[in-house]
């Protein structure tokens, strides 16, 4: 599979495409010492789906992403990506790339250098690194900026480089942890459209945490509302908006019940 070749759309569920690995969480729990942060999460994400996690600060959204990425070990439960059980697999072998709110770019390296750094460290041939960086830059409209340093870029362009760094790794699944929260309102709108376009172009499974209701409603095929380490409700934006299970969900999605 090439990093940037679009996957053909199928007639399946919204956003689903052939070839993209899905994600399965079974009874996933996480405790830090005596504190139970996640309490038995069961969730199926279809290949190619765009899933958005929302919920109050501290409810466990970032922890759940970190468990999926393998940056933390589960206390209980199983995680499968595609057909593979990855519960005990090293992060680098899960086929996942994560984009954070605060993205540290190397200031002394060019945009191309930043984007290709991970592949270079993995000792991939220079020609392959360059081809993948060029392809990702094309998708993100970064081609004219490849020789610049991060200090010569706007905030939005820098965040695009951070996303590009994830794309060149050719992941099955993208994890985004509030990637736009540090940007101003106008740029957030621009980047939101960019991310929707990216999802269309790549067809990957995307799991996206946000505080922003508009981001959730416009990006998601499926919204997962979390509360105190449990799933409160899962559904399409329309379903949660028109038929929330309770006031808590309604409050997050913005419709009174
Ligand atoms: P969210 O992203 O939804 O705001 P987090 O997943 O960051 O929430 O945190 C959930 C809870 O887990 C918080 O109470 C936080 O303090 C706690 N927590 C997160 N990481 C650790 C850790 N490494 N050690 C101890 N507690 C943690
Ligand atoms: Mg968080």
Scanning the chain, the segments in alpha helix (DSSP H) are 61-69, 111-121, 126-139, 155-167, 185-202, 213-219, 237-242, 247-253
State residue 256's pLDDT score: 52
Ligand 1 centroid, distance to 116 Cα (angstroms)? 31
- List, in sequence order, every residue forming a beta bridge with 198; answer none if it has no partner: none
Closest protein CA for atom 24 of ligand 1: 32
Which of 41, 63, 64 has the most ligand 1 atoms within 8 A of CB, as the residue to mutate? 63
0.95 surpassed by pTM: no
- DSSP string of 226-249, one letter each residue: EETTEEEEEE-HHHHHHS-SSHHH
Largest CA distance in the chain: 57
Place of tokens 């360059």: 130
Low-confidence ranges of the chain (pLDDT < 70): 1-18, 255-257
Could you list which residues have their CB under 5 Å from ion ligand 2? 62
Q: Is 59 helix (H, G, I), strand (E, B) or coil?
A: coil
* Residue position matching structure tokens 């416009």: 218
200: DSSP letter: H
Q: Of all helices (H) and strands (E), which one includes residue 22?
A: none
**Closest residue by Cα to residue 21 from 98, 95, 132:** 95
Rounded to the nearest whole angstrom, what is the distance from the C-alpha of residue 61 to the centroid of ligand 2? 6
* 229 Cα nearest atom in ligand 1: 10
Cα torsion angle, 162, 167, 169, 172, sign: positive
Closest Cα to atom 22 of ligand 1? 32
Contact 87, 74 (CB under 8 A): yes
Structure confidence by residue, pLDDT tens digits, 4-50: 434 343 333 444 445 789 999 999 999 999 999 999 999 999 999 99
Residue 155: half-sphere exposure toward Cβ, Cα within 13 Å: 14
How far lies 102's CA from each of 59, 80, 180, 183, 189, in Å? 20, 27, 9, 10, 18
Model confidence pLDDT, tens digit, residues 89-117: 999 899 999 998 777 899 999 999 999 99
pLDDT of residue 156: 86
Helix (H) or strand (E) holding 171: none
Residue 240 is predicted with a pLDDT of: 95
């Amino acid at each position: 599979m090439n990093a940037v070749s679009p996957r053909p759309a199928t007639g399946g569920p919204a956003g689903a495409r052939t070839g993209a690995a899905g994600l399965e969480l079974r009874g996933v729990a996480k405790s830090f010492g005596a504190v139970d942060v996640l309490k038995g999460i069961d969730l199926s994400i279809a290949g190619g789906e765009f899933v958005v996690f929302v919920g109050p600060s501290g409810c466990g959204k970032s922890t759940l992403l970190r468990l999926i990425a393998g940056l933390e070990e589960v206390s209980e439960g199983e995680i499968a990506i595609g057909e593979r059980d990855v519960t005990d697999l090293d992060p680098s072998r899960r086929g996942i790339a994560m984009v954070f709110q605060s993205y540290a770019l190397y200031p002394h390296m060019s945009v191309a250098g930043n984007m290709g750094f991970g592949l270079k460290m993995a000792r991939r041939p220079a020609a392959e690194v360059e081809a993948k960086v060029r392809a990702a830059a094309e998708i993100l409209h970064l081609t004219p900026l490849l020789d610049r340093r991060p200090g010569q870029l706007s905030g939005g362009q820098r965040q695009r480089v951070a996303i590009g760094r994830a794309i060149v790794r050719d992941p099955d699944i993208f994890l985004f942890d509030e990637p736009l929260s540090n940007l101003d309102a106008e740029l957030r709108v621009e980047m939101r459209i960019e991310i929707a376009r990216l999802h269309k172009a790549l067809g990957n499974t995307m799991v996206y945490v946000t505080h922003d209701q508009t981001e959730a409603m416009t990006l998601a095929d499926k919204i997962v509302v979390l509360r105190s380490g449990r799933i409160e409700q899962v559904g399409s934006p329309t379903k949660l908006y028109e038929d929330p299970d309770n006031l808590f969900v309604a409050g997050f999605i913005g419709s009174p019940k």
